[in-house]
Structure 1
Amino acid sequence: MKNKRTCDYIAEAIQNEILSGRMEAGQPLRQEELSEKLGYSRMPVREALQILEEQGLVRRLATRHVVVADFSERNIEEIFDMVGNVEKKALKDLAEMSFEWVYSAEGEDAEEKFHEFVYGTITNGLFRRLLETSADCYIRFASEETEMGKDPEQKQLRRNKLETVHSAYCRKDTVVMEVALEEYYRLLTENVKKERGFEK
C-alpha cells in the first residue's frame, strides 16, 4: 500500500474503534479530545477526521462538529457487496482483454497484493479511489483486525478463494471467478458483522 503519514495511523486507529462498534453511531469526535487521547497534535487529527469522512465512517454536521456515522448490519453488507461488484467487473473486463496477471496467494500480504492489482488496473478515477479506500479501511479491518479475520484457518480459506479467482481469471472462466470472489467478500462481511455483534 501507500506510504503512511501520521494522519493515516490516526485514521486507522479510529477506524478500528468505529468498525468494531467500540465507538457508537452519533458519538461526537472532538479534535482536542482525540489529540490528547492519542498523543498527537491537532493538525494530523484534523486530517485523520477528513480521511474518515471520505471513507464514510464519520459525518460532519451543519455545526461543523464531527460524529460517528451509523453502521447497521445492512450498511456493512452493502459496502462489501458494492466493493465486490466493482472488483468482479474490473476482473471480468481485464480477463476479456487477456490482461496478464501474475499472482501468488502465498505470504502475509497476499490479500493486499490481490486488491492492489485490481485497483491498480482501473482507469476510472472514482472506482479506483473507491477500491483504494475500501482496501485501506474496510477490507483491512475485516481481514486484519477482527477476531475471525486473524484466525489462521480463515486466512488460508480467504487466500484459497483468491487463488481460485486468479486461476479462473487465467482460464477466462468468469463464472467461477465471480463465485469465488463473492465467497471471499461473504467471509469479510461475516467477520465485521460478528465483530459488531450482529452474528453469533
Structure 2
Amino acid sequence: MAVKKQNILVKLIVDSREQDLSFLDKFKFDKKYSTEKIKIEGYEIQKPFKCLDSNGEIVKTSTADIGIEYSLDEGITWKKTNLAIELKKDSDFSSTIYSSWKRFSEEIKRAKEYELDFYLVYNQSTRQMHEHFDKLKSMKRIPYSASPQKVIYDRMLELGDLNVTMIYTHEIHEVLKRIIKYHIKKNKLQYF
C-alpha cells in the first residue's frame, strides 16, 4: 500500500520568555498550502515552550526558544515534535557564549540528552561582536586585557564538536522557515 504525502498545517511555538518577537514581523505566514503541501499558518506563545524528547515525552526542562506543532487534520489535533531552535539575537549571542557559558552548555547537554533536533540561529557578525566587546571594555565592564573574541571562537568550535548546527543570518524569518520545512521532510511528518 502506497503512502501518500499529506497536507501539513504548522504553527510556530515561541517561548514566552523570548522578549524580542520582531522576527515575527517579517515572517510571511502562509495563506494556502505550498507546493510542498506545507502551510505555516501562525504562531502561539507558550509558557514555557517544551518539545518532545526521543521517547515522545514532553521534556522535563524547557530547552530552546522556538519549536513547532503540526496538524494533519486541518487543526483539529495538534502534535508536538522534537524540533528546538535556540535564537540568539545581536549581542545576546556573544554575551551568552562568553558570560553565560556554563548555563548555555547545560542547555546544549539537555538537547543532546533529550535527542532534540536542535539548531542555534544567531545574527551577530564578528564585526558586531568586536564592537560589543570594545564598548564593554571602554565602559570598564570587562578588563582591557581580556580576549573575549578568542574565548567565543573556541566555544563556537566546542559547539561544532558537539554537533550543534549553528546558522548565522540576518534573515531569521527565512532561516526559521527552511529549518521547519527541513525538519518536516527529514522526519517524514507528512506521511502516515
TM-score when scaled to structure 1? 0.26
Structure whose residues are more often strand by fraction: 2
TM-score when scaled to structure 2? 0.27
Structure whose residues are more often helix by fraction: 1
